[in-house]
Structure 1
Amino acid sequence: MNKVLVLGAGQLARMMKLAGAPLNLDIKAFDVRTNKVVHPIANEYTFGDLASGIAQADVITAEFEHVKHDVLAQCEASGKLLPSSQAIKIGGDRRLEKALLESCQVANAKHRVVDTYSDFSNAVSDLELPIIFKSALEGYDGKGQWRLKDMSQAEAIWADMEAFVKGANTSVPQGIIAEQMVPFDREVSIVGARNKNGEIAVYPITENHHTNGVLSVSLALPVAEKLQQQAFEVFSKITNKLDYVGVLAIEFFQLGDTLLVNEIAPRVHNSGHWTQQGTDTCQFENHLRAICNMPLGNTELIRPTAMINILGEDNVPEDVLAISGVAIHWYNKGKRVGRKMGHINVCANSEQQLADKLTKLASILDPKAFEDLQQFADMLQSRVNQ
């Protein structure tokens, strides 16, 4: 039995635990808040500290990229950490991420690194409005971001960013990346796995929709081969450059037939949750297969599937379960506004049937809690009927 230690004890570690049980994997999680090794589903059961967790594990991985560098160093020294600490750090620092994309000659948004007011002024001069400024560290789900749409906002935005950087409590110095905002057609992502032998298996491109900066719906449908191949080539360049082992997600902006990388995540990813019901082998199982040196599983789309995030709600009407092809995944979290509490996967035999099921789902769920779902269902209905 392979023993796996996951850095982080949130919902992704929980879903790895569930996916690993049929493979006879013993999976525990290191809770970075308590510095204890815990059961990924029942966190009240503890198994010692990080040192004992490392000693007992055959392989160590991470469910999030903002792991303290001293923890990564301790795990890397064991020779058991996959993917590498450098890959995890790159996912958590936009400065390193941009440098990686440039070294791989991968298309991404025009950008500048901002450390000083002079850098800020140069970025504003070099890039066209609108410009988005993103914190280099710990910015996610719309947090740590500023949008400059008019020069009258510039000084106020700089003052706010400067205070943000000075007040940062991060293990390495905080910083800012300025990016040219891209007039994209849609946001998409690709999730894939690479094992120790360099074998790669990627899932179909997923279309992503956000509400208030947070992913709300991911849609997996058959995609154009040319676009899928383009995403595969980017995935291959990045993972081969890093000698990456495990699952990695890449978020793109799509402009016509061109994909620009937005960001990468060196872990299983929210936009890949649909794989639990839409593929033979979900992203969580394939991550475990990759790091445990097992053959990678099939990643083909077996039926049109959508994933809907449950944000800030700890229950949904039971009528949801009366819709065929619906599966609910709860994370066992305390209720908090905007918090990712779970997700709903909806599967169908055709795009039309999926659109119909999403329309039905939107009629059952609270429109305030799922404010854009009806609009998304209407959009998909319109697209299918064109």
Structure 2
Amino acid sequence: MKKVLVLGAGQLARMMELAGTPLNLDVKAFDVRSLKVVQPISPEHIYGDLAQGITNAEVITAEFEHVAHDTLAECEQSNKLFPSSNAIKIGGDRRLEKALLESCNVANAKHFFIQTKEDFAAALASLTLPVIFKSALEGYDGKGQWRLKSVEDADSIWQDMESFLKSSTTSVKQGIVAEQMINFDREVSLIGVRSRNGDVAAYPLTENHHTQGVLSVSVAVKVDEVLQKQAAQVFKAISDELNYVGVLAIEFFQVGNQLLVNEIAPRVHNSGHWTQQGADTCQFENHLRAICDLPLGSTALVRPTAMVNIIGEDTVSDEVLSIPSVTIHWYNKDKRAGRKMGHINVSGENELVLAQRLSALSKLLSQSAFPDLNDFSTSYLNKHS
């Protein structure tokens, strides 16, 4: 039984343990809050501290990119960490991420780095409104972002950002990345996986929808082969440059027939949860296969599938389970507004059946808890009826 240590003890580590058990993998997690090694599914079971976890593990990985750099350094020294600490750091710092995209000659939004008011003025001179500003560190799910649509609001936004920079407690110096806002057709993501020997495989492009900056629905269906090939080429360029091992997610803006990289995530990803019911091998199993030097599993789409995030709710109607091919995945978290508490996967033999089941699901869920799902499912059903 190979022993795996995951840095972070949230839902992604939990789902890695669930996927690893049939592979005879022993998955533990380092809880960055308690600084203890725990069982992801049963965190009340404790197995020592980080040093003990590193000693006991044969392979180390991460479920999120904002891991303390001293923790990454300690893990890197063991020669057991996959992907590398460099790849994880790049995923956690938008400045490093943009530099990587430029080095790989990958299309992305025009951008400008900001540390001072002079930088802010230079960014406004270089870019055209509207502009989105994102924190270089610790920004996710719409947090740490500002949108400037009118020059009259520039002073107030700068004051807010300046206060944010001054109050930052990050170990690495915080900064802001200004980006040209893209008038895109839709947001899509590619979940890909790369093995230790450089083999790569990619899941179908997934269409993503957000509610107040947080992913609410991801839909995976058969996609345009030209776009799929373009996304796969970007994945290979980035993963080869990083000598990456494991699952890597790339979020894109689609503008016509061109894909622009929005951001990357060096880990299993929320927009890939549909793979648990919709793909031949789920992203969690493929990540473990890659880091444990096992052959990669097929990433083929088995059936059209959608993932619906459960945010801020710890219950849904039992009637949800009466809909065919619906599976609920709870994360065993304490209820909190805005918190990802679980997700629901919905599948169908074809897109029409998937649309019908999404529509049925939307009618059984709270409109206040899932505010955009009814409109999305209605539009999706009309499109395929």
Same fold (TM over 0.5): yes
For 2:137, what is the secondary structure of its paired residue?
A: coil
CA-CA distance at 1:116 after TM superposition: 1.0
1:90-119 deviation digits (Å, cap 9, x = unpaired): 000000000000000000000000111111
- Asked whether 1:145 is paired with 2:145, we answer yes
Opposite residue 45 of structure 1, the aligned amino acid is: H
Cα distance in 2, alignment partners of residues 190 and 379 from structure 1: 23
Matched position secondary structure for 2:61: strand
Alignment match, 2:233: 233
Q: Which residue identity lines up with residue 278 of structure 2 in the other structure?
A: G
For 1:56 and 1:102, how far apart are their aligned partners in 2? 39
Query: Which residue of the partner structure matches residue 243 of structure 1?
Result: 243
Counterparts of 1:20-35 in structure 2, within 5 Å, are 20-35=20-35
Correspondence for 2:271: 271
1:199 aligned residue: 199
Residue 280 of structure 2: aligned partner: 280
Query: 1:258 aligns to what?
Result: 258
TM-score, normalised on structure 1? 0.99
| TM-superposed deviation, 1:178 | 0.1
Query: Partner residue of 1:222?
Result: 222
- Distance (Å, rounded) in 2 between the aligned partners of 1:54 and 1:20: 18
2:51 aligns to what?
51
1:1-40 to 2 correspondence within 5 Å?
1-40=1-40
Give SS of 2:346's match: strand
3-state secondary structure, aligned to 2:14: helix
Q: Unpaired runs of 5+ in structure 1?
A: none
Question: How far did residue 382 of structure 1 move?
Answer: 2.3
1:135 aligns with 2:135: yes
C-alpha separation in 2, matches of 1:120 and 1:324: 53
> Which amino acid letter does the alignment assign opposite residue 112 of structure 2?
R
C-alpha distance in 1, partners of 2:316/2:19? Answer: 24
Distance 2:165 2:86 in 1: 23
2 CA distance for matches of 1:357 and 1:364? 11
SS at the partner of 1:229?
Answer: helix
Shift of 1:41: 0.6
Give 2:379's aligned residue: 379
- Runs of 4+ aligned structure 1 residues displaced above 6 Å come to none
CA distance in 1, matches of 2:383, 2:259: 21
Structure 2 CA distance for aligned equivalents of residues 6 and 358 of structure 1: 33
Partner of 2:315: 315
SS of residue in 2 equivalent to 1:159: helix
Amino acid at match of 2:355: A
Distance in 2, matches of 1:16 and 1:95, equals 29
Distance in 1 between residues matched to 2:51 and 2:354, nearest whole Å: 48
Q: Which amino acid aligns with 2:337?
A: V
- The corresponding residue for 2:78 is 78
CA distance in 1, matches of 2:245, 2:95: 22
Q: Secondary structure of 1:26's match?
A: strand
Counterpart residue number, 1:178: 178
Alpha-carbon shift at residue 171 of structure 1 (Å): 1.3
**CA deviation map 1:188-231 (0-9, x unaligned):** 00001000110001000000000010000000010000000000
Per-residue deviation, residues 252-272 of structure 1 (Å, max 9, x unmatched): 000010000000000000000
Q: SS of 1:287's equivalent?
A: helix
**Aligned-partner residue type, residue 114 of structure 1:** I
Uncovered stretches (5+) of structure 2, i.e. residues with no partner: none
Amino acid corresponding to residue 297 of structure 2 in structure 1:
G
Q: Which amino acid aligns with 1:344?
A: I
Partner of 1:122: 122
CA distance in 2, matches of 1:375, 1:221: 19
Point out the more displaced range, 159-168 or 97-106. 159-168
Structure 2 CA distance for aligned equivalents of residues 99 and 52 of structure 1: 35
Q: Which residue of 1 aligns with 2:292?
A: 292
SS of the counterpart of 1:183?
Answer: coil
- Distance, in Å, in 2 between the alignment partners of 1:309 and 1:341 is 8
**Which whole-Å CA distance do the structure 2 matches of 1:205 and 1:382 have between them?**
22
Percent identity between the two aligned chains: 67
The offset of 1:383, in angstroms, is 1.9
Q: CA separation in 1, counterparts of 2:12 and 2:379?
A: 30
Structure 1 residue 18 displacement after superposition: 0.1
TM, length-normalised to structure 2: 1.00
Shift of 1:347: 0.5
Q: Which residue of 1 aligns with 2:366?
A: 366
Cα offset, 1:51, TM superposition: 0.2
How far has the Cα of 1:378 moved from its partner?
1.3
In structure 1, the partner of 2:340 is 340
Distance 1:139 1:190 in 2: 20
Amino acid of the structure 2 residue aligned with 1:55: T
Match of 2:107 in 1: 107
Q: Separation in 1 of the partners of 2:288 and 2:171?
A: 28
Query: In structure 1, what is the Cα distance between the partners aligned to 2:384 and 2:226?
Result: 21
1:306 and 1:276 map into 2 onto residues whose CA distance is: 11
